[in-house]
Homo-oligomer: A and B are copies of this chain.
Amino acid sequence: MPGNIQSIERAAAILRLLSGPTHRLRVVDLSGELGLSKGTVHGLLRTLQHVGFVEQDRESGKYQLGPALLHMGSSYLDGNELRTRALNWSDSLAGRTQEAVRIGTLHEGQVLIVHHVFRPDDSFQTLDVGSLLPAHATALGKVLLAGHTYLVAELAKRGFASFTEATISDEGRLERELARVRERGWATEMGEMTHNQVSCAAPIIDRSGVTVGAMGIFGPPERLLTARQPRGELLAYVRDAARAVSRELGAIPW
């Protein structure tokens, strides 16, 4: 790997920090975190500001992400084949199941939500598109991990965070769970990330056979489950929809 442009890598590191839990950071915070001199960070920030990637709060002097990123994020979605192909199918899946639908793909070992259809009722729901979810604690993530085995060992180094008492945070148990996912062709998750919230999902596969995404529904257990298992008809709808999208992507019907 001959030469990566380091000023760009540093700029990206700054943006990554700014998209973390603290949305506004000072120059010294960034320079400390990155181990760079104040002046260097300031130069990077100035150009990032000039291109609209960051903006500065004139009162506090702190820096935050800029509007250009929002537009580029939505442009990414427009060009994303997975999402484009899945648009219709996810709508009809939501209609059939009467549940919220999400489509995710892997990004840095987490699940990036690229599409989200609200549950078709009038309840207030917040859009998850653009969110990063933990892979080991969501049905979408399990499906994706099942298709990219090498990742599990890598993620294990950082450890698997526990969100509820149901979270699978042991590598061995997770591996066994993923093996089941692979053989059955779908995954479930039972309150492993949020209490009173369960989900199931199936893989989306492209023409070369790799799992490029996952599609699933989520909601309260009393609606999705019978006898501690996903209701059969819901599961069938999910798997059918994911298979339909795969076929649109050029996968050989299976």
Contact = CB atoms under 8 A, between A and B. Distances in A.
Contact of A7 (B5, B18, B68, B74): B5
A75 B130 contact: yes
Interface size on A, as a range, is 35 or more
Query: What's the number of copies of this chain in the assembled complex?
Result: 2
Interface stretch (A26-34, A49-57, A149-157, A171-179): A49-57
B76 A65 contact: yes
A71 B7 contact: no
Interface stretch (A119-127, A135-143, A191-199, A223-231): A119-127
Interface stretch (A107-115, A181-189, A239-247): A107-115
A7 B43 CA distance: 12
Given A3-B43, A43-B5, A107 B12 contact: no
A70 B129 contact: yes
A72 B71 contact: no
A51 B107 contact: no
Given A46-B4, A47-B9, A70 B130 contact: yes
B72 A65 contact: yes
A66 interface: yes
A112 B79 contact: no
Contacts of A12: 51-53, 68
5 contacts: A8-B48, A64-B79, A67-B105, A70-B112, A127-B127
A107 B50 contact: no
Contacts of A19: 71-72, 75-76
A96 to B, nearest CB: 15
A70 B114 contact: yes
B7 A8 contact: yes
Contact of A130 (B66, B73, B132): B73
A131 interface: yes
Nearest to A11: B8
Contact of A65 (B79, B120, B131): B79
A44 B8 contact: yes
B9 A108 contact: no
A41 B52 CA distance: 21
A74 B5 contact: no
